[in-house]
Homo-oligomer: A and B are copies of this chain.
Amino acid sequence: MSSRRCAACKQLRRRCPSDCIFFPYFPPNNPQRFSFVHRIYGASNVGKLLQQVQEHQRADVADSLYYEAYCRIKSPVYGCVGIISILHQEIDLLERELAKVQAEISLVKGQTQIAQGQQVELSSSSFDLSTTTPWFY
């Protein structure tokens, strides 16, 4: 029986039932995964959170709880909310950079139009010079 107990039942030193809610998401070969969610949420809360969603969604629940627990252990004050803040700062920075580059492109496009306008003007005036009668005639 011991070899088929999931990481949760192993850590909680209990029998692992055939319909164990933890078994598919906390395999015995990865004890740290359960250990992390257990430290932050407690086994009973993790079980409740898994049970309240449909079976096909449980792997995502286990993954996201593990990620949040991992973040909270690494960063006890902010947890993964700290990552959200960093990502928001990154977005602000990119938006400012994008606005700057877009303003620059508008400016360069405007200068190009002026340059092209002058080119057309010069081009037509030089053409005039070669085809019209010289002034001294």
Contact residues of A with B, CB < 8 Å?
40-42, 44-45, 49, 52-53, 57, 60-61, 63-65, 67-68, 72, 76-84, 87-88, 90-91, 94-95, 97-98, 101-102, 104-105, 108-109, 111-112, 115-116, 118-119, 122-123, 125-126, 129-130, 134
Contacts and interface: CB of A to CB of B under 8 A. Distances in A.
Contacts of A118: 119
Contact of A122 (B65, B101, B123): B123
A76 B52 contact: yes
A118 B126 CA distance: 13
Given A42-B41, A130-B129, A81 B101 contact: no
A92 B95 CA distance: 12
Given A68-B68, A91-B90, A81 B80 contact: yes
